[in-house]
Each structure stands twice: as structure tokens, then as C-alpha cells.
Structure 1
Amino acid sequence: MSWRVWRVGVAAALSLLLSACASVRGRPADGPVDEAEAYLRAWAANDVAAMKRAVAGPPASFEEQHQRFRDGLRIVSSRFELGRVERDGEQARATFRAVHVLRGLGEWELESTLPFVRREGRWFVRWTPAVLHPEAREGDRYSRTRTWLERAELLDAYGEPLTHVGEVITIGVDPTRVRSRADVTSALQVQLEVDPARVEKALNATGATAANFVPIIDVRPERYQLVRPALAPVPGIFFRKKTARLSPSEGFASHTLGRVGEVTAELLAQLGPLYQPGDIVGLSGLERAFEPQLAGTPSGEVVLTRPSGEAQVVFRFEGKQGTPLTTTLRPALQMAAEAALEGVTQPAALVAVDSESGAVLAIASRPLSQPLHRALTGRYPPGSTFKVVTTEALLARGMGVDAPAPCPPTVAVKGKSFRNFEDEALGAITLRGAFAHSCNTAFVLLSANLGGEALGEAARRFGFDVEYHPGLPSSGGTFPAPRNAVELAASSIGQGRVLATPLHLASVAAAAESGRWRAPYLVTDLDDGPSASLADGTRGALHLLMRAVVTEGTGRAAAGVPELAGKTGTAEFGTVPPLPTHAWFIGFRNGIAFAVLVEGGGVGGRVAAPIAARFASAL
């Protein structure tokens, strides 16, 4: 075979192969594939001008029809996939799949066609309204409906609703009627403890100056009646009634359950295109964290309306009912926790957990006017409550509760002086006495022989440096490895770089009672978190020692509660002497463990222990 014949044969074969490939794809080699792809790219970019240039004899209303389509359906974005392209002489037809994302409803998927005509060697789209939708005709308009199904409930540990629908009063400001911002912010702060910065932020928000009503805070009718006489005379402050989800009482687990209200611009960006302005969503707490589960998805219809007024539903969004969220909270214990904190004027927290399972039974943060959920996210030096961990490490090394533990007034470690509270000196005592009376110097001396590695292992047995997810953000406890003897001494008494949340210290108390640390959790579906066993033989000794704190030691302010065992803590913080202190008490009674914190409260035995007694007496 000659070279020329062989070359022609190969070319013919390649031509047949390319034609075959094009046929398999459904796209003829000389068809308007490139033009179709370019048109769909322009459509996806909402480049109507480029689309119009690709149309043969576009109607005068071309841009208007596209705008009506986009605006009427509130289309956020569109994407396209080109299908088969079939040619018939000087005409062609391309099928495509369109996915339009409708704000607040989701994805609407449909199939349509792009007809083409060839003129002067170039392919143009022969556009009709059917390109937008196969059923569309000239003059049609698009609209939509949208409905949320009823929001699902937050349930307590027994499966009963924690909230109900009731009336609230929204207290807000009309910027056009304000004479003095200082008067407005002062009145709201005095009467409702609203941070003035929060009011200023709301009034300075985009669009607020033109609004007739800027909502600031929702209150129950009974509270409204109390504050109205002071607020109503202030020019610019107004009131509106509405219905809302309410907890059993004002402030009941408010930081944990969270609140529901109109979606903010910030949340709208986070929640995505399924939501739109005006939607009622979870703004904080569990309501926010589990928004998709509780809200479900909205239902809706895409409606095509003829000029005659005849309406046709061309697509339906089937909404999905939200699913209730079952928490581990027990209402009676939650109310007991809040009652125990009543009258406490400083920032405070109280957390109670089931000692066997880690389930959070009650959790309260104060003040209610601050959004910080300090029970979950506040990180503090644990002070002497950490001696539970240090003692477990000592017990694991074989030390007995009656072993000697000298308690001098001060101890120097590498030039750093450690002292007891109020310079107390107990002399030659035992581990039991040192623990019950919270002798710092005794634990500093004992930890020197214990070592940082053993103390770190004990800390991990109590969940320090263990990541867990209770249902809302919480940072747990951290025990950085001591870098030297001074840090080891400080860490052994819960100072230095050791930090913990009130929630985590409640889990420490639970581990002391049950003998096993379990990650605390607020939502029943999250009950499979990490856990760790305490060292063999330490549980009974910890029970004895923590009971001694209440009966004969620093926790005697709680001695009237039978079977209560615990540990006080007075944790220094800050840098300017004399250092202020947080007041702590952690303890357990009858299978329920808890932690009490009073931020900057002073002495744990004098401030936190009485709060613990009020709570524990209800167990």
C-alpha cells in the first residue's frame, strides 16, 4: 500500500471516529455547541446583555422578561448543564437542565430547550419565553408562595416541651422620634439592664435611621407592666405586642434554650439561601445551634400566571417538618439552680450533671442581661477545686488519707513563695486534714514528689485536654504540662495555666462520685462522648475526703445538707496585688454532681458553699 493511500485511509478513519464520538455525545461536530455553552454561561452569570447579543431578533421585552423571571421567583443563582444538540439543516435544538436557587425555598430543577437558527454562517438562539420554562408564553408572569411549617419543640429529659407560645412585648425605638439618645440608652439600661452599646449598634445599623421601629428587647407582659411607667415617657421608646416561644418562667435556662426572633443580616449570611429576610429563626442557644433540625424546611409553589389571570403551578417545594430536640434538662432541678443563684449580684454560674451518665440536668448563668453563657464558655482558674485531681494522683501513687501532709504557712519553690489562705498554718496534719482545710502548702510539697507527668495523667482521667461537644460550644478544661517546678506547684493547687469551665468542673465532681469521668452533654443524642476511669481504689477515698470538707473543713457553710460532699475553691486571677479571687464549690449528692462559680466573688467556702447548700438541699 502506498503512503498516500495509507494516509487518506487513516484520515478517513479518524473522521469517522470523531463523528462517532460526536454522535455518542449527541452533539454534531458542526452544530452550535459552543454557542449553546456560551449562552448558558452568560445566563448563569446573569449577563443579560451577552445573552441578548446571541439571540436572533430578540424581542423588545427580552431584558424585562428575564428580570421578571428572576425577581418574581427571587432567584439567587442559576446553573446549567447542556444536554443533546441536534441539527436539522440550518436549524438546531439544544436541550439543557437548569437548576435555579430560589431564595428561601431551595433548588428548582427543570429541563428546557434552546432553539437555534443559522444565519450568515453563525448560529443564533431563536428565543421565546419557552426557553425560561417549557410552559411559558408571551406575557406570562412568575410568582411563588412560601410557608414554614410549625417549628419543632425543645423537650426536657422526660420528653415534655420546655417552651410554649405566648404573648410578649417588644420594646424598641423609633429613631425619628428620639430627642436624646442618652435618655433612651439610660432608661433601657436602668429598667431592663440593656447594654447601651447594644442600643447604639441597633440604631446605627443600616436602614435603622429610616425605620419606624427598631426592636431592642422582648419582655413578658408582667415585666412590661413594671417598666412601662418609666419607659413610656421617654421620647422615642415604643412598644409592640407579638407572640413568641416562652420558657416556663422568665430567665428559665435562657442562655441554654436561647431565643427565637427575626433573622439578622449576619445570621442570614450564615444560614444560606433557604432563608430570607423576615424569617423567624433561632437567635441564640439551642434554638440557634439546632436551627435546621427545629425549623425543618419551608413549602412553596412556583406559579405561572397567564395574562388572562389563569394561574398554573409548575413546581412544588415539599416542606419538611422540624424534628423536636430532646435535651437532658430536668425542669425541677433547673428551677432549683436558678433559685440558688437568686440574689447573687456578681456574675455567676451553676451546673448540675448526672454523675453516672454525664447528662446535664441544670445549667444557669448570671446575669441574664449578658449574652455570655459563662457556665459553658467562661474559662477560669479552678483554684483549690483542682485538688480533687491532685489528690487522685496522690492516691493512685499509693498515698493513704491518713498519710502525713505537713502544712507550713509558706513554701518556697525556686524562689517563688506559696502561702495558705489568710496565712493559715496547720502544722503536722494528714492528707485528710490538708484536703478538708484546703492547705496550699501541703499540696505544693506533695506535688514536688508527684511530678508533672503523673499530675497530667490524672488531669486527663478527669477530662482535662479532652475535646467533647455537649450540644453548645464549650471549651472544657485545659492542663498545660508544667514547664518547671514553679508551674508544677501552681498547677497542683489549680493556679498557673490551668483553666476550666463551670461545666467541666461539674464533670470533675461527677467523676469523683462515680469513679469514671464522662463527657457532659446537653442533648440526648450526644451521649456517646469520651470517658475515662479514675485510678483503681481512689473513688472511696475521694468520697471520704470530700465529705470531710463539708463536715469539718472549708465547706462547713453547707454542713446542714445530709450526704453532701464537695470541695471549695478560692482562685486568684489578675496581675495587680492584692489579687481578686473567684469563689468555687464543686460537689455531689445522691448521684447528682454540680459546680458553683461566683466570678470575683471572693472566698469559696464563704460565698459559693452557701449557694451550693441551697441547691443541694433540693436534690
Structure 2
Amino acid sequence: MRRARRTLAATATLAVASTMLTGCFEEPSPHDAVRDFLVGWQSEDYDLAAGRTDGDLATVRKALSDAKLELDAASFRFKIKSVNVTGDESKADFHAEVDLGENNPLWEYDGILPLHLVDGSWKVRWSPSVLHPQLKEGQRFAVDTKPVERQPVVDKDGNALQSDTYLYVVGVYPSKLGDQAEDVVAKLSEVTGYAQDRLLSRIRSSPPDKFVPLVTFGHSRYQAMTSKLAAITGIDTQPQKQPVNPDAPRQIVGTVSALTPETEQKLGGPQRAGDSIGKSGLQQAYQDYLTGSTETKVITLDLKTGKEVTRLKEWQGRQNVPVKTTIDRSVQAAAEQAVADTDTSALVAVQRDTGEIRAVATKNMHQEKDALAGKYPAGTAFSIVAADALLKSNVSPKQRLACPEERTVGGAKFVHAGQSTGVPSSATFQENFAKGCVTALASLARRVTAAELAKSASAFGMKQPWRLPLKSFSGSLPALSSDADKARAIAGQNVEVSPLSMALVGAAVASGTWRPPVLVTDPKSPDPAAEIVPTVQPAPVPVDPKVLPVLRTMMRAGAAGTPAQAGSGRVYGVTATAGGGLTWFVGWQGDVAIAVLSKNYNAGAVAGSFFAGLKNSP
């Protein structure tokens, strides 16, 4: 459709120019011949164009048709610049724009149409230089391309997060085909589904002695196609090693596939066979950076020797670069091991003082859709954020709170459901926080305003429009219009969060400052092909220095004596429930903060396994 729109717009532009020029000349005028020739060339009405020249009609028609094939052009667009008449001779200057169908600028050049009177009619004096001033007899156009290999996605130390695998590129050497090109293309089109005219254009537009990639297969599809391909005489297959097999975290890194007829049509032609296309994750989000753009030269070739005569235009293409992530392989390995024995879990680990994502591991959950972008009830894990608001409202961590099995606040009923086992009948706020007694925590709703809860939620990143190249969710807190709403919020029943957003909450308490998440450190700017909104990260938000040491003490109490404290070193955190069999752990050890969401499994035990598995753990 992009090509069609350009052609239509070009025709309209030339038609308008023609109308304007028509009034500037008295008949007889060369203008009609100039207009008809360029309109015919542009719209592929080669009979119209050839009829306005003094050349052999068949020769001119073929030359114009061949020019499009030789350039593999999506469209031509022309603008008449001037027409000058001297007696029975005339000269028209025109400007040409050629869409080469590559991920490069348009090829633009200025041309000249010499005209003379033939039996009282103006005719374009035909020669190859009519197509381009530097095209001579015995020459033709060609487009010489040099694809660049895909760059890898790498971890924070620059090591590739994928291994090499082979793609199989089927192509031809034009010089070996002779007059069999159309037959070979027809057979290849039939078995692969690629458009026959596009395959033929690629062959015709290339230097004859250069391998022209036409179709690319992954290993399994190539094996399935081997017998059909073997029956086509004249094609060659070249295995190409590319870094496309993702390592952990696989769904974050993403997958890559060979270009297919469907993706080629969807992408509109910038890629060619032999290219690899990111299908998911960072491979998709950073497609343009990882692939760059093809180095392209428009040249003329000698028809006899097939050698380059003149270089008419050259584009170096955009340099492709690796995408450097914040993933740490040792942290990722510990995360993978920690979730391995669970049924359904997600673990996100971040560097506490930078917000950099060190690991994303899941079991029967999706690393992007669930761990980064999932919307799950926060449960009593939200008590970390609520505690910030309550402490600012002068609720003492030593205040005594009853932890009954049931409690009603503002008409909303809360049940501890056994989660407060081990909580004394008149425990402190800190003890109820550590054990996750929902009835005790909900009772504090009247001690804090809705605005104070919302302010703390915002300070810990909820609803913040942070920037990540993949889908993510920063959390949501509804309007709190009653004590019941506030009680539900403190208990996390009307609050939605993602494992990523909660890992950042843990990191904020650990470091003293909430920071937005970071997954890619280089390139610095968003990928041109990705729609990343916003383009600027929100500013870090310090935790109130009066509240911070109290929160840390409460989270230390929350982790002490729990499965989360299974490894060496001091662990801080809370284990929480969220209903439906979901449990949370949010906390940190050393410089790594985590959030674990698990179903029908103790999230604290997953956290303990993770911390125990960390190499060089404090």
C-alpha cells in the first residue's frame, strides 16, 4: 500500500504540473510530448511513453520496463522543471525520485529529455541517456546491496544473551541462469509463496556475478523443503550463522525468525530475503538497531562483461549495534533455579540503587506479560506502601493492635484466614505488619487519609509513566472515597501491581530512593521502530528519611525466621497473601531487591532459594 500511495501521489503531482505548464505554451508545443512520456513512464503505461519518442516502439517499451526491474523499483516520480524551445529543437529538464524499496532515502537525480520535430510533432530523441544522463548504449542499471549481519542482545557485561543458529538462504547467481531466470523464479514462487515478480526483480536488479538471496528458511522448514528445492535447477543454498537462539530470560530477549512472504508484505519491503525479523521481546522492540539498514549502491553495468561502469548513488546504511541490557547472568541463573520447583511463579530482581533489572524468571507464567506487565492483587504486600503513609501520619510501630479472625471496617469485612498464625492477641503494628495480619492492618484505615495513601503509592512508583522497551505495569490504586476503600487499600484488596513494580518498592526501601526500572542501557535512545511512551523517565523519589529506618526495621522483622531467610546474609522483606492461592515476597538481600509472586506455593521459600543461590552473596 505504501508503494501504491506513492505512485498515486506522484501521478497527481505530475498531472498538476502538466496543467500549469499547458497554459504557458502556444501550440505546437513540446510540452505534451514531455508530459505524456513522463506520465507513461511513471504509471507504467509504456505504450504511451514510447509513442512520444522517435525510437522503435518495442525497444523503448522494453527499456522502460527493464529499468524498473533493474532497479527493483517500487515507483518512479517525476517533476518537470523547465521546457526550452529553439527552433525545431527542444530540451526539457526533469527531476526524478525513485523508490528503491530499500530502507534508504529515495534516489533522486536530474534528467534531460532532448526533443525535436518529426513531421510536425514533437518527439523525445530516444537514447539510454533519456533514462539517466550517465546511462550509455550497451549498459544497464543495477542495484548492489550488502546486508549486514544481525547484532546480538547482550547482558550487562557484554556477553550475548543468545547462541548462534543457522538460517538457510536460498538464492541464485544471475550469470548462471542465462534465460532460465523466469522459469526458476516461477518454480521457487510456487513452493515458497513469495511473489514471483518480486523474486524476478531482485535477480534482474543485481550484478550478474553476485549471489542474490531470495528466500530464507529456519532449520526445520528447510529440512521439510529440501526435496522440493532440490528439484529446482539453478538455485544455491548458503547456510548463515546468526545469533538468534535466545538464552534466559528467553521471553525478554525474544525470538527471531527468517523473513516470510507474510512478514515481507506486512513490513512493506524494507527488508530482503536473508534478513532476520524480531518476533518478540527485545529482538522485536530493537529490530532497527539490531539489523541496521542495507548498504546500497545504484550502478551501471556493462552488458557484455557484467562489470560496474559508473556508481550513480551510494548509501552506507545505518550502522547496526548490539543492544546492551542490565541482565546479570549469575542473578538470572539463581532466579531460574528458584522458580524451577514451583508450579506457577514469577521472580523479578533489580539492583536496589539503580532500578536496573538483573533477572526475570518465571514458571508457567510469561516473563513480559506477567512478570513485567501483569496486573495482580497486591494483597498485604501493599502494606509496605501503606506503612509509609501510616508512619507519616504518626502511627507508631509499637502501637498495639488486636488481630481478630474477622473485622469490619466501614462496612467492609476482613478475614485473616489463618494468615496471622503466631501473632499475639495484642501485637504491635510492627508485629502485625511482619505477620501480615489483614484484620489488624485494615483497622488503621481511619488513621490515614485517602490523599496520604495515594501520595505514598505515587512516591513508590504506582501509576508512574516509566519508560521500558517492553510492556510493563507500574500499578493502580483506585479513588478512595470511604474508610472501607482505605481499609481495602491497606490490605491490598483493591490495588493491582506487577512483580516488577513490587521489586522496585523493595529496592526503594533498601536504597532509600524509589527509581524507575531500567532494562536497556545502550542504545541510549528508543528504537526508531518502537513506540516507547514516555520518552523521558520519571525522576527518582527519596523515601522520607524519618520513615526509612523504621520501614527497614519492620521489613527485617518481616523476613526473620521465615523461609526467605534460608541463605546466608541478612534478608529484609514481607511475605504476603493476595487470595486465590497467590502469595508474595517483597524484599532484598545485599544490593539485590526482588519480588516473588507464586500460586499455591510459599513465595518466601522461593525468595530463600534465590538468595541462597546468589553467587558472592553478602
Which of the five TM-score ranges fits, normalised by the shorter chain?
Answer: 0.7 to 0.9
Q: Which residue of 1 aligns with 2:402?
A: 406
Q: CA deviation at 1:520?
A: 0.7
Cα deviations by residue, 1:348-402 (Å, 9 ceiling, x for unpaired) = 322111111111122223448x685422222222222111111111112222211
**CA 1:390–1:411 in 2, change beyond 3 Å: closer, same or farther?**
same
What amino acid sits opposite 1:480 in the alignment? P
The 8 Å contact of residues 369 and 471 in structure 2, kept in 1 or not, is answered as no
The 8 Å contact of residues 404 and 431 in structure 1, kept in 2 or not, is answered as yes
Does residue 499 (structure 1) correspond to residue 489 (structure 2)? The answer is: no
**CA 1:432–1:414 in 2, change beyond 3 Å: closer, same or farther?**
closer
CA distance, structure 2, for counterparts of residue 76 and residue 168 of structure 1: 27
Equivalent residue runs for 1:287-302 within 5 Å: 287-302=283-298
Equivalent residue runs for 1:215-254 within 5 Å: 243-245=241-243, 251-254=247-250
Q: CA deviation at 1:533?
A: 1.9
Q: CA deviation at 1:336?
A: 1.6
The 8 Å contact of residues 70 and 142 in structure 2, kept in 1 or not, is answered as yes
**CA 1:549–1:62 in 2, change beyond 3 Å: closer, same or farther?**
same
CA distance, structure 2, for counterparts of residue 216 and residue 494 of structure 1: 49
The 8 Å contact of residues 296 and 323 in structure 1, kept in 2 or not, is answered as yes
What amino acid sits opposite 1:551 in the alignment? A
Q: Which residue of 1 aligns with 2:596?
A: 596
Question: 1:540 is paired with a residue of what secondary structure?
Answer: helix
2:545 corresponds to which of 524, 536, 541: 536
What amino acid sits opposite 2:71 in the alignment? L
CA distance, structure 2, for counterparts of residue 587 and residue 420 of structure 1: 22
2:69 corresponds to which of 52, 55, 71: 71
Q: Which residue of 1 aligns with 2:6?
A: none
CA distance, structure 1, for counterparts of residue 21 and residue 44 of structure 2: 27
CA distance, structure 2, for counterparts of residue 423 and residue 551 of structure 1: 16
Does residue 568 (structure 1) correspond to residue 592 (structure 2)? The answer is: no
Q: CA deviation at 1:609?
A: 4.2
Q: CA deviation at 1:44?
A: 4.3
The 8 Å contact of residues 570 and 603 in structure 1, kept in 2 or not, is answered as no
The 8 Å contact of residues 289 and 320 in structure 2, kept in 1 or not, is answered as yes
Counting aligned pairs with the same residue, the percent is 28
Q: CA deviation at 1:455?
A: 0.8
Equivalent residue runs for 1:169-568 within 5 Å: 207=193, 243-245=241-243, 251-264=247-260, 267-268=263-264, 271-311=267-307, 312-314=309-311, 315-346=313-344, 348-367=345-364, 373-422=369-418, 424=420, 426=423, 427-496=425-494, 498-525=495-522, 529-530=537-538, 531-552=540-561, 555-568=562-575
Equivalent residue runs for 1:122-161 within 5 Å: 125-137=124-136, 140-161=139-160
CA distance, structure 1, for counterparts of residue 167 and residue 77 of structure 2: 44
CA distance, structure 2, for counterparts of residue 313 and residue 322 of structure 1: 28
Cα deviations by residue, 1:211-240 (Å, 9 ceiling, x for unpaired) = x9985979xxxxxxxxx9xx9xxxxxxxx9
What amino acid sits opposite 1:587 in the alignment? G
Q: CA deviation at 1:603?
A: 5.0
CA distance, structure 2, for counterparts of residue 399 and residue 359 of structure 1: 33
The 8 Å contact of residues 168 and 243 in structure 1, kept in 2 or not, is answered as yes
**CA 1:267–1:127 in 2, change beyond 3 Å: closer, same or farther?**
same
Q: CA deviation at 1:544?
A: 0.8
Question: 2:57 is paired with a residue of what secondary structure?
Answer: coil
Q: Which residue of 2 aligns with 1:101?
A: 99
| Cα RMSD, aligned residues only | 3.8
Question: 2:402 is paired with a residue of what secondary structure?
Answer: coil
Question: 1:104 is paired with a residue of what secondary structure?
Answer: coil
**CA 1:304–1:421 in 2, change beyond 3 Å: closer, same or farther?**
same
**CA 1:597–1:216 in 2, change beyond 3 Å: closer, same or farther?**
farther
Q: Which residue of 1 aligns with 2:111?
A: 112
The 8 Å contact of residues 138 and 304 in structure 2, kept in 1 or not, is answered as no
What amino acid sits opposite 2:301 in the alignment? T
Deviation larger for 516-525 or 483-492? 483-492
Q: CA deviation at 1:279?
A: 1.2
Question: 1:281 is paired with a residue of what secondary structure?
Answer: strand
What amino acid sits opposite 1:339 in the alignment? Q
CA distance, structure 2, for counterparts of residue 86 and residue 168 of structure 1: 56
**CA 1:341–1:78 in 2, change beyond 3 Å: closer, same or farther?**
farther
Q: CA deviation at 1:340?
A: 1.6
Q: Which residue of 2 aligns with 1:586?
A: 586
What amino acid sits opposite 2:428 in the alignment? T
Q: Which residue of 2 aligns with 1:174?
A: none
Superposition TM-score, scaled by structure 1 size: 0.74
**CA 1:168–1:97 in 2, change beyond 3 Å: closer, same or farther?**
closer
**CA 1:523–1:449 in 2, change beyond 3 Å: closer, same or farther?**
same
The 8 Å contact of residues 71 and 141 in structure 2, kept in 1 or not, is answered as yes
Q: CA deviation at 1:473?
A: 2.6
The 8 Å contact of residues 96 and 110 in structure 2, kept in 1 or not, is answered as yes
What amino acid sits opposite 2:148 in the alignment? L
The 8 Å contact of residues 337 and 362 in structure 1, kept in 2 or not, is answered as yes
Q: Which residue of 1 aligns with 2:530?
A: none
Q: CA deviation at 1:461?
A: 0.2
Q: CA deviation at 1:81?
A: 3.7
Q: CA deviation at 1:242?
A: 6.6
Q: CA deviation at 1:611?
A: 4.4
Q: CA deviation at 1:322?
A: 1.6
The 8 Å contact of residues 26 and 85 in structure 1, kept in 2 or not, is answered as no
What amino acid sits opposite 1:88 in the alignment? T
Task: List alignment gaps of at least 5 residues for structure 1.
Answer: 1-21, 171-204, 219-227, 232-239, 573-579
**CA 1:558–1:143 in 2, change beyond 3 Å: closer, same or farther?**
same
Task: List alignment gaps of at least 5 residues for structure 2.
Answer: 1-16, 170-190, 195-214, 225-237, 526-535
Question: 1:60 is paired with a residue of what secondary structure?
Answer: helix
The 8 Å contact of residues 340 and 363 in structure 2, kept in 1 or not, is answered as no
The 8 Å contact of residues 149 and 319 in structure 1, kept in 2 or not, is answered as no
Q: CA deviation at 1:53?
A: 5.5
The 8 Å contact of residues 359 and 521 in structure 1, kept in 2 or not, is answered as yes
What amino acid sits opposite 2:585 in the alignment? F
The 8 Å contact of residues 27 and 84 in structure 1, kept in 2 or not, is answered as no
Cα deviations by residue, 1:254-283 (Å, 9 ceiling, x for unpaired) = 112223331345654565543124412333
Question: 2:384 is paired with a residue of what secondary structure?
Answer: helix
